[in-house]
Every structure is written in structure tokens, then in C-alpha cells.
Amino acid sequence: MWAALGLLLSFFLVTGLFAAPASDEVGYSELLQRVRQNEVASITYNTQTDVIVAETTDGKQFRSSATPELFADDTGLFEDHGVEYETRTPTPNLIASLIPFLLPVALLIGFFMYMQRRAQGQMGGIMQIGRSKAKTYSTEKPGTTFADVAGYDGVKQEITEVVDFLKSPERFASIGARIPKGVLLVGPPGTGKTLIARAVAGEAGVPFLSVTGSDFMEMFVGVGASRVRDLFQSARKMGRAIIFVDEIDSIGRKRGAGLGGGHDEREQTLNQMLSEMDGFEATEGIVMMAATNRPDILDPALLRPGRFDRQVVVPLPECDERLAILRVHSKDKKLADDVDLVTVAKGTPGMSGADLSNLVNEAALFAVRRDAKQVHMEDFESARDRMLMGQRRESMALSDVEKEIVAYHEGGHAVCAAVLTHADPLHKVTILPSGMALGVTQQLPEERHLYRQNYIEDSLVVRLGGRIAEELVFGVISTGANNDLMGATELSRKMVREWGMSERVGPMAWGGQGQVFLGEDLMHSREYSDETARVIDEEVERILREQEDRCRDTLRHYRPGLDAVAAALLEQETIAGDEVRRLIDEAQRRADDGYRSDPAAPATPERAELRPARS
């Protein structure tokens, strides 16, 4: 409409500019004078505009104006001097005359049509608000298969039955078996639950409807339930299909669970989903899959047999699975010959598939920063340090005193980690500021599924090593052990309250303080008395005091090694775990040789008892 209006205005402007050729304007008396001098050849008079256009004998034109009476009186003069005169009454253009009247009407009509279409669009949007927002992945598109999912052989084997049922449901119907209606994928974030669900659809060759739990929530009442109905209707029209709901905990939380659990709209959406899952038979060919990392907050009615009656745990990958994941994400990367993915997999325990993908990408970014043509092993080391310890703060400059304190603090952590038998292996120690820390002692945890008490106690000693080292060397402690003390206190409290590792408290366990919105009560009540709380606090203090004394004895015995590690850190700023163990062994050997050469020195069998088998 605006383009048409612009064209119309430009047409009038152009016609106004080029309507008449440029000519001279003279008075009527001068026109008559030129006629008497025989300089005018012809005259044309416009009766509507009273404009006279005269043409001279040499072909030039000029203009004048006169009333009709004057022009009629002088026609005899024109005839006497042989001037051809003509009177014209131009016929008005009907369209040009109607345009000034039709243009406002056309603008009003166009405005009302625009408003009507806009209102219809809004009404259409309101009518469409109850439709499902599920994304449909049809069989024509390239699908994801189990070959694209590295590792997780146990998970693949467990959900192979779903694939077999979708491929040939008649096999199950002929023998009377029914496939689970719902499969719930449970696991930590980043383990590939959504990828596994797409792989099931790709293997079965059926449409895949993907939707997240938050897509059901809107500001309008009843929209969530309407979208659930539309989602299942769309799946039934496709015949065999997979409905995948990601982050189902956003709508599947326990109903009536205190604060945050009384949202009527969310509960109505959950009720509609429960009724829809009961509404289709197991032989219809529709399988519902969902993913969550919070199965503890789901409503029990959602997990009962007949709905989500099969839970598939997708755990963090083991070493072999991490190796397979690294190989998948390294396919399009130019790796150098010195890259050993087996070593990288062993050095990344606890990382999920998303973490490993980010690790490979970070390594490639480090290679780009170095202007390297390939990704080397040092890039993987830098990427792992970046993810575990944070970005190195090059701009922070420590004073000499602070640097020495940080060196002995990190040296205390490193010595305890290197000499204690049950501690995690020491990988690296640095006094370069990284992330929020002034220095970092990095351990690489081994693959563990159970944590024994001696391992936890050694972990407490390692955490307290920095504070005790400052105390032994400088006679005063600093604020650098804040994070260590918080972690040690939390760990010792779990030993007493949850893991039954206190003889005084006995075999009793109380879980952590749960959030209000997870429980059925408005306020969380403590499960034990004030006397028991006092006993728990005393036991936590006892454990910390005992491990503090043990850490102090260990660092006193390995004081030469502590001094050697701190000196190496001040000189090199970063040393590897093997180098820390070598420095400790050499320093202790020199100290023991000097100690034994003194004939007055008494025998100390406890010195040998403190040295474990590792060192």
C-alpha cells in the first residue's frame, strides 16, 4: 500500500514538472504590440485557464493571458495582420479529476483492510496456541543411529527391545507380550539422553516427535493440556511413532508438594499426560520416551507400571566409553602424532559426553591460538586445565611474600597427595593464578564407584595440607584455606550424618537438608533432636581435629620434601606430579642420610611407619 502511494505521488510530481515546456511570459499589451509589428504567426487561447500561447515567425513561443472579452475584441486585429488564432476548450480527464476525491477514500479502505487482516492474524494465533509445538523428524531426513552414539553398550542393549517393537510389533502381539509404554532416560546432564532417543527413532525408522517440558506452559489456562492432546493426536495419525519429552521434570513434579508444587496449570497438564498415556494401547505402535536428571522429584503416578514403567540409567561414561566418545568428536580435527586419546580418556574421569566434546573443541582453540597446523597433546593438557582449574589470570601479579605463601600452601597439598597411600594420584601443582584460585593442586581421581573410609580420611588430610603447611612454616595461617575448609567440613559432615562413619553416632543416616519445593511439607522439619545435633557437631569436629593432627605429623616428617617442592614451585611455577614425588624422595633421602650419620640420634621407628609404600 505504501509503495503504491509513493508511486502515485511521484507520478503527480513528474507530470507537474514536465506538463508544459519552458516559455517567456509577457503582458497582453506587449502581445498586441508584437502582433502589430507582424512578429506573431499563430495564437492559441485556452478558455479554461485564459492562457494564450503565441508562436513567433521565427518559431519561438511565449505566453500571455487575457480575459475572454478582451480576446474576442481583438480578433479583428489578429485577422488584419494575418495571425492565425484558435480558441480551445480542453476536455477534462475523468480519472485525473476523480483522483483528488478517490485517493482519501482508497487510503481509508486500505487502512481498514490492513487492520482487519492483522486482527485475523491475531485471532489465528490465538486459535493456534493450543497446538503442540513438537518438532517432527520424519524418516526422509537423515536420522541418527546407534552408530552415532559412542559407548553406552548396556543402554543400547536395554532399549533395543523398543526398536524391535517399532519395526515389527506383530511379533510381540502374536505371543501376547507388550512393550513398555514409556521409557524414562535418567542420568546426569550432558550424558546424551536426547541423542540416544533420536538414535532409537533412527534405528526404528519411524517419525520422531520431540518436545520439551517447558513448551506446554503458557500464560493461558488450559493451554498445556490442549497441547498434550494435540501431541498425542498427531502421533496417532502417524501410526508408529516416538514421542520424546525432554526435561519432563518441569511438568512432572510431584503434585501438591509445598511451595512451587501447587501450580494448577502445571498439574492439569500432568493429569492430561497421564490420561493420554492410559488412552493408547501398547500395540498401537506409539512409544513415549522422556529424559530427566531429577527422577527424585517426579510424580509417583508418572512412574507406575503402565506409564513410564521402564527406567534406563544413562551414567557418566567409563574410561573405554570416554575413549570412544573422544574418537567420535576428534574425527574432523587434525590431530598430531603425539596425541594419545587413551591417556586423555584416563585423565578425564567424571566428564560427561558434553564435557568431552567441549574438551576437544577447547584443544582445537588452543592450537589455533598457537598458530599450529595440528592439535598436539599439550593443547589437550591446556584444555583440561582450562576446564578443571579455570582460565589463567596472566594480569595478576603476586608479591614475593604472597608467592612464597602460595608455594608452601600448594606444596602442602601436593606433599600430602603424593605420600598418602589412599589419596588420588597427583597430576600437577601450580602457583599461577587460575580462575578464582591463587594456586591449584590437581589430582586425577581413579575410577571409583565406592568410597572407603580410609580414602575419605586421606582426602581430608590433602584438603588440610595447605593450611597446616602455612602454620608449620610461617607460624600463622591466612585466608587462602577458605575453600579447603568448606570442602573438608562438608565431607566430614557427610561421614557422620549420611555414611555412618562415626562410632558415637552409630549406624544412623540423615539426608541433607532438602529444598522446600521437593517435599510434601511447607516447612522442612529436622529428623533428629538437639542432643543428636550436638553429638553430630562434636563428631564432625573430632574427625577434622584427628585428620588435622595426622596432616601435621605427615608434613613434619616430610618437611624436607615440602621445602624442596616449595622451592621448585617458586622457581618453575608449575611442576608435574612425578616431579613432586622425585623431589620428595631426594629430599627425604638426604635428610635420612644426615640423620643416620649422627651417632647421638635415637632410633625412631615411627618415622618408618609414616612413610607409606607408594613413596
pLDDT tens-digit readout, 113-123: 877 777 665 54
Q: At what angle do helices 559-572 and 453-474 cross, to 10 degrees?
A: 80
What is the per-residue pLDDT across 521-550, written as a single tens digit (0 to 9) for each?
A: 444 456 778 888 899 999 999 999 999 999
Residue with the three cell numbers 542432643: 531
pLDDT at 441 over 80: yes
Least reliable range by pLDDT among 186-200, 274-288, 323-337, 491-505: 274-288
| Contact criterion met (CB below 8 Å) for 109 and 116 | no
Kindly name the residue from 362, 410, 457, 539 that is annotated as catalytic. 410
Count of CB atoms situated within 10 Å of the CB of 336:
14
| Contact criterion met (CB below 8 Å) for 413 and 467 | no
C-alpha cell at 566: 616449595
Confidence label for 516 from pLDDT (cuts 50, 70 and 90)? very low
SS3 325: helix
User: Which is more confident, 503 or 128?
Assistant: 503
Count of CB atoms situated within 10 Å of the CB of 333:
14
Q: Which of 549, 393, 528, 529 is nearest to 467 (CA)?
A: 549
Give the strand order in the sheet containing 40-46: 24-25, 61-65, 51-56, 40-46, 84-88
| Contact criterion met (CB below 8 Å) for 186 and 313 | yes
Confidence label for 562 from pLDDT (cuts 50, 70 and 90)? very high
Q: What percent of the chain has pLDDT over 90?
A: 15
**Reduced 3-state DSSP string for 503-567:** CCCCCCCCCCCCCHHHCCCCCCCCCCCHHHHHHHHHHHHHHHHHHHHHHHHHHHHCHHHHHHHHH
Q: Calculate mean pLDDT across residues 302-308.
A: 79
Q: Which residues pair with 434 in a beta bridge?
A: 392, 437
Q: Calculate mean pLDDT across residues 150-176.
A: 76
pLDDT at 107: 80
For Cα atoms 234, 235, 240, give the angle at the middle one, nearest 5 degrees.
145
Residue with the three cell numbers 477514500: 105
pLDDT at 488: 93
Q: Calculate mean pLDDT across residues 289-314.
A: 81
Least reliable range by pLDDT among 120-124, 184-188, 359-363: 120-124
C-alpha cell at 153: 553398550
Confidence label for 260 from pLDDT (cuts 50, 70 and 90)? very low
Report the distance separating Cα 484 and Cα 465, nearest Å: 9
What type of residue sits at position 431?
Answer: I
Report which secondary-structure segment, H or E, holds 223.
Answer: helix 223-237
Number of helical (H) and strand (E) elements in the chain, helices listed first = 23, 14
pLDDT at 220 over 70: no
What is the per-residue pLDDT across 404-429, written as a single tens digit (0 to 9) for each?
A: 999 999 999 999 999 998 898 888 88
Confidence label for 471 from pLDDT (cuts 50, 70 and 90)? very high
Phi, psi at residue 65, to the nearest 5°? Answer: -145, 150
Q: Which of 354, 348, 301, 345 is nearest to 327 (CA)?
A: 345
User: In Å, how far are 356, 410, 481, 543, 553 from 467, measured between CA atoms?
Assistant: 33, 9, 6, 16, 13
pLDDT at 212: 75
Least reliable range by pLDDT among 81-90, 268-277, 435-444: 268-277
pLDDT at 604 over 60: no
Q: Calculate mean pLDDT across residues 38-44.
A: 84
pLDDT at 615: 31
Q: What percent of the chain has pLDDT over 70?
A: 80
pLDDT at 140 over 50: no
pLDDT at 49: 79
pLDDT at 41 over 90: no
pLDDT at 152 over 50: yes
User: Which is more confident, 453 or 518?
Assistant: 453
pLDDT at 16: 52
For the question of residue 276 being annotated catalytic, the response is no
pTM over the 0.85 mark: no
pLDDT at 175 over 60: yes
What average pLDDT does the chain have?
Answer: 77
pLDDT at 517 over 80: no
Confidence label for 378 from pLDDT (cuts 50, 70 and 90)? confident
Q: Distance between terminal CA atoms of the chain?
A: 86
Q: Calculate mean pLDDT across residues 225-238.
A: 75
pLDDT at 263: 52
Report the distance separating Cα 478 and Cα 31, nearest Å: 111
252: exposed, middle or buried (Cβ count in 10 Å: 0-12, 13-18, 19+): buried
Length reported for the chain: 615
Report the distance separating Cα 615 and Cα 584, nearest Å: 8
Report the distance separating Cα 118 and Cα 122, nearest Å: 6
pLDDT at 440: 85
Give all domains of the chain, ordered by start, each with its CATH number: 21-88 (3.30.720.210), 135-313 (3.40.50.300), 319-389 (1.10.8.60), 400-510+526-610 (1.20.58.760)
User: Which is more confident, 235 or 282?
Assistant: 235
